[in-house]
């Protein structure tokens, strides 16, 4: 990046570090922080939508739909997360390729499954053969995002289902007595109040989601854990910028990043809790009322 970086071996210490910290691999390391933040910001609303749909299904009076919702939450919550994180991208990727294979290569006369191999024609490969690296990265990121949404959506569904049931039944019955149907009582009575009961659980799921992002490394995505290990490892004289084992410092930077992220998240959820408890029949809502009248 700098003009004086042409020969790192003769540079004084501060210039050596200036060159070292601005190499292409370090720029990829810095971008990986944005990848993690982007995943969190996209996975959270996706999991919330999945969870809301799952909670509605669990509350449904239509038995097959209720079984589907309860089966989804029970299956995901009962299987280790890492299994889903590894299974979902593979299953979706192979499913997409199989459909494209049937569409694009109807004359294919070989079995797709050959032992442990999954073989499709060239036209069915995803991402397409010859795609640039950024296309492959985005495709892998989308698969990882779907896996995170499915896994954490099940936990969100269980949390929202409990929060919906925590709203006093007497209020719903009163709304129905005033002429509201089931849909109206849910939208105007249950929905506004359930967030008070759901928010503590949702905040915990958010924290777990943050801590689960290093699993991106297992999905083949070059995240901050991958680059911390690669850049911090001991470099020999074969490298342009040789150095001893600095992994502790790189992982310390990762630690500070995650601690900062969780600290900001805690302050944000505290603000939300105060906002949602305002005017509610909860301990915190009562405390706010007493403070206002004092």
Residue 51 makes CB contacts below 8 A (sequence gap 6+) with 152, 153, 154, 155, 156, 157, 158, 159, 160
Q: Name the burial class of residue 217, with classes exposed (0-12), middle (13-18) and buried (19+) by CB atoms within 10 angstroms of its CB.
A: middle
Neighbours of 231 (CB within 10 A): 21
Please state which CATH number belongs to domain 3-293: 1.10.3720.10
Residue 25 makes CB contacts below 8 A (sequence gap 6+) with 227, 230, 231
113 has which bridge partners? 118
Query: What pLDDT, in 10s, does the model give residues 1-22?
Result: 566 676 666 667 778 788 888 8
- What is the per-residue pLDDT for 9? 66
pTM to 2 decimals? 0.82
Local confidence band at 280 (pLDDT 50, 70, 90 cut-offs): low
Q: How far apart are CA 198 and CA 250, in angstroms?
A: 36
Rounded to an integer, the average pLDDT of 183-208 is 88
Whether the per-residue pLDDT at 283 is higher than 60: the answer is no
How far is residue 228 from each of residues 58, 72, 116, 217, measured CA to CA in Å?
42, 36, 33, 11
Task: Kindly give the interhelix angle for 133-166 and 63-78, rounded to the nearest 10 degrees.
Answer: 120
Domain borders along the chain are: 3-293
Mean pLDDT taken over the chain:
84
Rounded to an integer, the average pLDDT of 92-113 is 86
- What is the per-residue pLDDT for 286? 46
Q: How far apart are CA 253 and CA 37, in angstroms?
A: 15
- What is the per-residue pLDDT for 37? 93
* Residue that is written with structure tokens 């996706």 in the block: 46
């Amino acid at each position: 990046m700098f003009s004086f970086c042409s020969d790192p071996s003769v540079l004084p210490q501060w210039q050596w570090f200036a060159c070292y910290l601005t190499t292409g691999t370090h720029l990829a390391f810095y971008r990986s922080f944005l990848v993690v933040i982007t995943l969190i910001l996209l996975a959270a609303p996706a999991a919330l939508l999945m969870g809301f749909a799952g909670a509605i299904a669990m509350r449904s009076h239509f038995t097959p739909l209720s079984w589907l919702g309860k089966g989804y939450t029970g299956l995901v919550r009962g299987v280790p997360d890492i299994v889903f994180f590894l299974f979902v991208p593979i299953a979706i990727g192979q499913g997409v390729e199989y459909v494209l294979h049937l569409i694009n290569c109807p004359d294919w006369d070989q079995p797709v499954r050959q032992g442990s191999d999954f073989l499709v024609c060239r036209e069915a490969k995803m991402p397409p053969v010859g795609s640039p690296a950024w296309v492959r990265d985005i495709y892998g990121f989308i698969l990882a995002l779907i896996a995170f949404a499915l896994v954490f959506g099940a936990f969100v569904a269980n949390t929202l289902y409990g929060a919906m049931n925590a709203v006093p039944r007497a209020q719903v019955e009163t709304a129905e007595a005033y002429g509201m149907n089931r849909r109206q009582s849910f939208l105007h009575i249950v929905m506004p109040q359930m967030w008070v009961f759901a928010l503590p659980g949702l905040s915990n799921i958010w924290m777990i989601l943050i801590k689960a992002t290093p699993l991106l490394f297992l999905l083949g995505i070059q995240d901050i854990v991958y680059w911390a290990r690669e850049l911090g490892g001991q470099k020999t004289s074969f490298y342009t910028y040789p150095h001893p084992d600095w992994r502790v410092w790189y992982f310390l930077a990762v630690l500070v990043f995650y601690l900062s992220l969780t600290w900001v998240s805690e302050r944000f959820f505290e603000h939300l809790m105060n906002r949602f408890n305002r005017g509610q029949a909860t301990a915190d809502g009562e405390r706010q009322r007493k403070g206002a009248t004092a």
